[in-house]
């Protein structure tokens, strides 16, 4: 049995679950009138109401005891010190340095990383101002009107999410597009109505080797050359790169003077606040970008300094562990009640699942407990008219986060009241349900009672903020980053590697020539893969 399962802290939680798991939120609230005002925590402008979770007041104490037993605080401190906590890649994990103020210093392996971070931020700001003011000119002397970020995974999901989330703060006369998929349609649609003379490509890739990004970048290069008369000097005016790989950038033909660097201690899915956020800065400007970094940093400080019992990311992470390991919940839903956050669940999917989708511990032993939950979600209220049926009455227990705002960015009539009423109504309905007695008292036909019964006792947390600002977004993202960290520390897994993406990449490399060769290739696959390849070749007129 694993160390985690054998630990006293884990066993205590198992018996606590056996004792309390049958309790209903209806009773927990009825017996404890101040539950809704006590089981809350607040920091960095985020109000975290976790009272509608299937816990008693004792549960948080037991979960924080588990965190201490697993030495989560020590591991957190080691991350902030720059130790190599990403053991399988032997790397520091220092996204928290990306948002440290200029006045701070953090020396890692003899280098002040905060100074380096601010050098890059200053260069990004300088470049952004040039593009935004029209001083930066394309090959024909026209200013830039369309900015296309080419990247995938962490080099795409964060930039898209942040652009969409902060659109209200963005320059509307600049158009932003994001090309990620190697499906040519993505590039085609992003450039269909674009003028190469007014288009700037940001090639964003930590490694500068990723198949999708490099393919799209080469296509973009050709598109610019074709559109601007073939003069190679156009590349310097229409391409910049964000990468850790200066050699790769130079090899592609981008002047490294037009490269914005970052460091191997920034994981792709933790990089939206590094130079990978260049498109965000171009959209909202350097000052707003700095506000976003302030929001991240405020949550970092909260995570580092606040006791575990009132620490938002710790509470969030421990509740995720609670459902994953003691209720066997396989998924966790996130429902932002803000259309601007419509890419937030997609962003969180990489953050959570690429981080904690692991089955071995730091020292390589196979785990005997569940790790990363499947994160998913959509904005409310749309989801209510789609899959909430299953969340309310299906057979699965789906813990969910509801995210809402006191104020709309675009107030229109009573839209915001209607929107937020649904946040409160949904969490109330999920917690308390509707009983047979209530239905009978309403005179509902006996035959329909089973169909109209809501068992309730479905756990939710509600995160409320005043309004969606760059700062709020930074704090919100950092909350989830550190929640992921907390979960990974309990499970003793490496939340910062991603070996699971490698096998498919390698196999695709082997299959590409088998699809493209003129002559029939020898195929050494299983019968299914062989036949799929054969049929594809045939459909494309290849023998």
**CB of 252: closest distance to ligand F6P in angstroms?**
13
Instruction: Spell out the residues 6+ positions from residue 145 whose beta carbon is closer than 8 angstroms to its own.
Output: 173, 174, 175, 195, 198, 199
261 belongs to the binding site for ligand F6P (CB under 6 A): no
Of 56, 64, 170, 213, which lies in the binding site for ligand F6P, with binding defined by CB under 6 A? 213
**CB of 280: closest distance to ligand F6P in angstroms?**
16
Instruction: Spell out the residues 6+ positions from residue 490 whose beta carbon is closer than 8 angstroms to its own.
Output: 4, 66, 67, 70, 72, 317, 318, 321
Q: Indicate the length of the chain as a whole number.
A: 543
Question: Residue 12 in 3-state DSSP?
Answer: helix
Of 206, 297, 316, 482, which lies in the binding site for ligand F6P, with binding defined by CB under 6 A? 206
Nearer to ligand F6P, 208 or 335 (CB): 208
Which residues, 266 to 325, sit near ligand F6P by CB under 6 A? 268-269
Structure tokens at 449: 């009672």
Of 205, 325, 475, 487, which lies in the binding site for ligand F6P, with binding defined by CB under 6 A? 205
Q: From residue 475 to residue 514, what is the string marking binding to ligand F6P with x (rule CB under 6 A)?
A: -----------------------x--x-------------
Structure tokens at 72: 């989560």
DSSP β-bridge partners for residue 203: 150, 241
**CB of 212: closest distance to ligand F6P in angstroms?**
8
Q: Which of 130, 149, 380 is nearest to 243 (CA)?
A: 149
Specify the residue for token string 């965190």. 67
**CB of 351: closest distance to ligand F6P in angstroms?**
10
Instruction: Spell out the residues 6+ positions from residue 236 whose beta carbon is closer than 8 angstroms to its own.
Output: 254, 255, 258
Specify the residue for token string 């935004």. 132
* Minimal CB distance residue for ligand F6P: 268
Nearer to ligand F6P, 208 or 223 (CB): 208
Instruction: Spell out the residues 6+ positions from residue 315 whose beta carbon is closer than 8 angstroms to its own.
Output: 41, 48, 50, 60, 309
**DSSP structure class, residue 246:** H
**CB of 395: closest distance to ligand F6P in angstroms?**
33
Nearer to ligand F6P, 274 or 416 (CB): 274
Of 207, 310, 384, 421, which lies in the binding site for ligand F6P, with binding defined by CB under 6 A? 207
Known catalytic residues are 354, 385, 505
Nearer to ligand F6P, 205 or 483 (CB): 205
Which residues, 336 to 355, sit near ligand F6P by CB under 6 A? 354
Which residues, 127 to 156, sit near ligand F6P by CB under 6 A? 152-155
Nearer to ligand F6P, 156 or 378 (CB): 156
**DSSP structure class, residue 307:** -
d(CA 267, CA 276): 11
For 461, the enclosing helix (H) or strand (E) is strand 460-465
Binding residues for ligand F6P, per CB under 6 A? 152-155, 205-207, 210, 213, 268-269, 354, 498, 501
């Amino acid at each position: 049995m694993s160390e985690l399962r054998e630990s006293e802290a884990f066993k205590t939680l198992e018996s606590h679950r056996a004792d309390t798991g049958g309790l209903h939120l209806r009773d927990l609230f009825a017996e404890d009138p101040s539950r809704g005002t006590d089981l809350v925590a607040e920091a960095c402008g985020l109000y975290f109401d976790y009272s509608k979770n299937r816990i008693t007041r004792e549960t948080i104490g037991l979960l924080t005891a588990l965190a201490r037993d697993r030495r989560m605080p020590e591991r957190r401190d080691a991350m902030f010190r720059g130790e190599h906590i990403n053991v399988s890649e032997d790397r520091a994990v220092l996204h928290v340095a990306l948002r440290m103020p200029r006045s701070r210093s953090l020396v890692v392996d003899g280098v002040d990383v905060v100074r380096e971070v601010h050098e890059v931020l200053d260069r990004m700001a300088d470049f952004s101002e040039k593009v935004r003011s029209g001083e930066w000119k394309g090959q024909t002397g026209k200013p830039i009107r369309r900015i296309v970020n080419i990247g995938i995974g962490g080099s795409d999901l964060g930039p898209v999410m942040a652009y969409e989330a902060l659109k209200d703060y963005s320059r509307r006369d600049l158009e932003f597009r994001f090309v990620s998929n190697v499906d040519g349609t993505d590039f085609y649609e992003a450039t269909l109505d674009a003028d190469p003379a007014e288009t700037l490509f940001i090639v964003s890739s930590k490694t500068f080797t990723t198949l999708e990004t490099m393919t799209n970048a080469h296509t973009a290069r050709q598109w610019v050359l074709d559109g601007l008369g073939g003069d190679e000097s156009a590349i310097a005016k229409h391409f910049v790169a964000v990468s850790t790989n200066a050699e790769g950038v130079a090899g592609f033909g981008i002047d490294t003077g037009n490269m914005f660097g970052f460091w191997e201690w920034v994981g792709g899915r933790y990089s939206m606040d590094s130079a990978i956020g260049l498109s965000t800065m171009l959209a909202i400007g350097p000052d707003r970008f700095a506000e976003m970094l302030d929001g991240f940093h405020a949550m970092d400080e909260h995570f580092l300094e606040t006791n575990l019992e009132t620490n938002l990311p710790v509470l969030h992470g421990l509740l995720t562990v609670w459902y994953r390991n003691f209720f066997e919940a396989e998924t966790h839903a996130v429902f932002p009640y803000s259309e601007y956050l419509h890419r937030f669940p997609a962003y969180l999917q990489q953050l959570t699942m690429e981080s904690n989708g692991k089955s071995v511990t730091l020292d390589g032993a196979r785990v005997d407990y569940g790790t990363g939950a499947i994160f998913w979600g959509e904005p409310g209220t749309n989801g209510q008219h789609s899959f909430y049926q299953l969340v309310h009455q299906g057979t699965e227990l789906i813990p969910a986060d509801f995210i809402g705002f006191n104020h709309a960015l675009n107030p229109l009539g009573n839209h915001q009241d209607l929107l937020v009423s649904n946040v409160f109504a949904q969490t109330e309905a999920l917690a308390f349900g509707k009983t047979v007695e209530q239905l009978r008292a309403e005179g509902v036909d006996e035959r329909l009672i089973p169909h109209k019964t809501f068992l309730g006792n479905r756990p939710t947390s509600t995160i409320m903020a005043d309004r969606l600002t760059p700062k709020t977004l930074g704090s919100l993202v950092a909350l989830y980053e550190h929640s992921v960290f907390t979960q990974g520390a309990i499970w003793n897994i490496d939340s910062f590697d991603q070996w699971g993406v490698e096998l498919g990449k390698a196999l695709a490399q082997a299959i590409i020539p088998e699809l493209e060769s003129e002559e029939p290739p020898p195929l050494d696959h299983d019968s299914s893969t062989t036949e799929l390849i054969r049929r594809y070749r045939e459909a494309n007129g290849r023998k």
